[in-house]
Amino acid sequence: MAIRRRIVLLASWACLIAIFTSHVQAQTRRDPQSPARPFGYQPSSFVFQSGSDARAERFNKKYLPKVMEIVNERFKEGARFENPEAVPLNVERMVLNYDYDVRAYFIHEGAGYKNTVGVKLGDEHRLMFPDCSYDGNNGVRLQRGDFMDLGLIKRGTKLDL
Residues 49, 72: Cα–Cα separation, whole Å: 22
- Predicted pLDDT of residue 38: 86
In the predicted model, what is the mean pLDDT of the chain? 78
* 146 compared with 84, residue with greater pLDDT: 146
Indicate the SS3 state at residue 153: strand
- Predicted pLDDT of residue 7: 45
Question: What Cα–Cα distance (Å) separates residue 1 from each residue in 8, 82, 122, 129?
Answer: 11, 15, 21, 23
Residues 17, 109: Cα–Cα separation, whole Å: 12
CB atoms within 10 A of CB 114: 14
CA atoms within 13 A on the CB side of 79: 11
Counting residues of the chain whose pLDDT is more than 70, the rounded percentage is 76
- Predicted pLDDT of residue 136: 60
Cis preceding linkage at 32, omega within 30: yes
* 95 compared with 2, residue with greater pLDDT: 95
**DSSP type of residue 34:** P
Please name the helix (run of DSSP H) or strand (run of DSSP E) that holds residue 103, with its range, or none.
Answer: strand 100-106
